Chains A and B, each alone.
Chain A
Amino acid sequence: MNNPPKIALKFFRWFCRKDLLKYIEGDLIELFEEQVETKGLNKARLLFTWEVLKLFRPDIIRLNRSITQINQWTMFKNYLKVGIRNLLRYKAFSFINIFGLAVAMVVTLLLILLLVDQHQYDQFHTHSDRIYRIHSKLDNSIIANASSPVPLVETMQNDFAIIESGTNLIPGVGGDVIFNSATNTEIRGFFADDQFFKVFSFQLKEGNERTALAQPNSMVITSEVAQKLFHDDPAVGQQVRFLDRGLGLMKIDIGTGKEEVAEDWGTFTITGVVNLNDYKSHIDFDMLVSASTLPRLYQEGKVQDRSESWENYSVGYSYLMVYPDVSEAQLLASLQELVDLKYKDIADLSGIEFLPRSLNQITPGAFVGNPITLRLPIEAYFVLFGLAIVILLSAGFNYTNLSIARALTRTREIGVRKVNGAHRGSLIFQFLTESVLTSFCASTMAVVMLLLLKPVLNALWINQVLNFDLTINGWVFVGFFGVSLMVGLLAGAYPALVLSRFTPLKALKNLTDSHSSRFGFKRILNIAQFAFSLLFIVTAILIARQFHHIVNFEYGFSTENIINIPIQGNDYKLIQREFESIAGVSDISACEFVPALLHTNGASVSRAFSSEDLFNAEMISVSPDFIKTMSFELVAGKNLPAHLENSVVVNMSCIDKLKWDNPNEALGQTIYLEGQKAVQIAGVINDVKFQNPIMGDGKLPLILVNKPELFSFVNVKVNGDPYEVVHQLEEKWAAIDQTHPFNYFIYQDQLAKSTRWFGDLVSIVIGIAALAVIISCLGLLGMAIYTTERRIKEVSIRKVLGANTSQLLLALGRSFLILLLIAIVIGGPLSYLISNLWLESFPNRVDFGLGTVAIGSLCLLLIGSITIITQIVTVSRTNPVKSLKDE
Chain B
Amino acid sequence: MGKFQLGEFEEIVMLTVGVLFGNAYGVSIKKEIEERQGRNVSVGALQSALKRLEDKGYLTSYEGESTSERGGRPKRYFNITAQGKNAIEETRKMRNQLYDAIPKPALDVKIG
Report yes or no: A55 in contact with B47, Cβ–Cβ below 8 A. Answer: yes
- A20, A26, A56: most-surrounded residue (chain B CB, <10 A): A26
Interface hits, A21-40 → B, CB 8 Å: 22-31, 33
**Once bound together, how far apart are the Cα atoms of A25 and B71, in whole Å?**
9
* Chain A, interface residues (CB within 8 Å), range: 20 to 34
User: Does A485 make an interface contact (CB < 8 A)?
Assistant: no
Looking across the interface, which residue of chain B has its beta carbon closest to that of A33?
B69
Report yes or no: A24 in contact with B47, Cβ–Cβ below 8 A. Answer: yes
**Once bound together, how far apart are the Cα atoms of A58 and B71, in whole Å?**
26
Question: Contacts of A31 on B, CB cut-off 8 Å?
Answer: 27, 30, 43
User: Does A57 make an interface contact (CB < 8 A)?
Assistant: yes
User: Does A760 make an interface contact (CB < 8 A)?
Assistant: no
Do A24 and B43 contact each other (CB < 8 Å), given the known contacts A30-B27, A57-B48, A60-B51? yes
Do A29 and B44 contact each other (CB < 8 Å), given the known contacts A23-B26, A59-B51, A60-B51? no
**Once bound together, how far apart are the Cα atoms of A24 and B26, in whole Å?**
7
Comparing B72-80, B81-89, B99-107, the segment that makes contact with chain A is B72-80
Interface hits, A614-632 → B, CB 8 Å: none
Report yes or no: B42 in contact with A54, Cβ–Cβ below 8 A. Answer: yes
Interface hits, A384-432 → B, CB 8 Å: none
Question: Contacts of B69 on A, CB cut-off 8 Å?
Answer: 29-30, 33
**Once bound together, how far apart are the Cα atoms of A26 and B48, in whole Å?**
16
Question: Contacts of A60 on B, CB cut-off 8 Å?
Answer: 44, 47-48, 51
Interface hits, B17-57 → A, CB 8 Å: 25-27, 30, 42-45, 47-48, 51-52
Report yes or no: B48 in contact with A29, Cβ–Cβ below 8 A. Answer: no
User: Does A340 make an interface contact (CB < 8 A)?
Assistant: no
Do A25 and B44 contact each other (CB < 8 Å), given the known contacts A30-B27, A31-B27? no
Question: Contacts of A56 on B, CB cut-off 8 Å?
Answer: 44
**Once bound together, how far apart are the Cα atoms of A24 and B45, in whole Å?**
12
Looking across the interface, which residue of chain B has its beta carbon closest to that of A58?
B48
Report yes or no: B47 in contact with A29, Cβ–Cβ below 8 A. Answer: no
User: Does B3 make an interface contact (CB < 8 A)?
Assistant: no
**Once bound together, how far apart are the Cα atoms of A23 and B78, in whole Å?**
12
**Once bound together, how far apart are the Cα atoms of A29 and B68, in whole Å?**
10
Against B, the Cβ 8 Å flags (1 = close, 0 = not) of A58-85 are 1110000000000000000000000000
Report yes or no: A30 in contact with B70, Cβ–Cβ below 8 A. Answer: yes
Question: Contacts of B5 on A, CB cut-off 8 Å?
Answer: none
**Once bound together, how far apart are the Cα atoms of A56 and B42, in whole Å?**
11
Looking across the interface, which residue of chain A has its beta carbon closest to that of B48?
A59
Do A55 and B43 contact each other (CB < 8 Å), given the known contacts A29-B71, A30-B69? yes
User: Does A645 make an interface contact (CB < 8 A)?
Assistant: no
- Could you tell me how many residues of chain B have their Cβ less than 8 Å away from some Cβ of chain A? 21
Question: Contacts of A33 on B, CB cut-off 8 Å?
Answer: 69
Question: Contacts of A54 on B, CB cut-off 8 Å?
Answer: 42-45
**Once bound together, how far apart are the Cα atoms of A345 and B32, in whole Å?**
89
**Once bound together, how far apart are the Cα atoms of A27 and B71, in whole Å?**
10
Do A26 and B75 contact each other (CB < 8 Å), given the known contacts A20-B51, A33-B69, A60-B51? yes
Report yes or no: A28 in contact with B43, Cβ–Cβ below 8 A. Answer: yes
**Once bound together, how far apart are the Cα atoms of A30 and B64, in whole Å?**
14
User: Does A613 make an interface contact (CB < 8 A)?
Assistant: no
User: Does A51 make an interface contact (CB < 8 A)?
Assistant: yes
**Once bound together, how far apart are the Cα atoms of A24 and B76, in whole Å?**
9
**Complex partner residue of B70 from A20, A26, A51, CB under 8 angstroms:** A26
Interface hits, A1-53 → B, CB 8 Å: 20, 22-31, 33, 51
Question: Contacts of B45 on A, CB cut-off 8 Å?
Answer: 54
Looking across the interface, which residue of chain A has its beta carbon closest to that of B71?
A29
**Once bound together, how far apart are the Cα atoms of A25 and B75, in whole Å?**
10
Question: Contacts of B63 on A, CB cut-off 8 Å?
Answer: 23
Question: Contacts of A28 on B, CB cut-off 8 Å?
Answer: 43
**Once bound together, how far apart are the Cα atoms of A103 and B44, in whole Å?**
55
**Complex partner residue of A20 from B25, B47, B66, CB under 8 angstroms:** B47
Report yes or no: A29 in contact with B73, Cβ–Cβ below 8 A. Answer: yes
Question: Contacts of A23 on B, CB cut-off 8 Å?
Answer: 25-26, 63, 73-76
**Once bound together, how far apart are the Cα atoms of A20 and B42, in whole Å?**
16
**Once bound together, how far apart are the Cα atoms of A103 and B30, in whole Å?**
65
**Once bound together, how far apart are the Cα atoms of A24 and B75, in whole Å?**
8
**Once bound together, how far apart are the Cα atoms of A786 and B11, in whole Å?**
67
Shortest Cβ-Cβ A-B pairs, 10 listed: A26-B73, A27-B26, A59-B48, A23-B76, A54-B44, A55-B44, A26-B70, A29-B71, A54-B42, A59-B51
Could you list 10 examples of A-B contacts with CB < 8 Å?
A22-B73, A24-B43, A26-B75, A26-B76, A27-B26, A29-B70, A30-B70, A51-B44, A55-B42, A59-B47
Binding site for A on B (CB under 8 A): 25-27, 30, 42-45, 47-48, 51-52, 63, 66, 69-71, 73-76
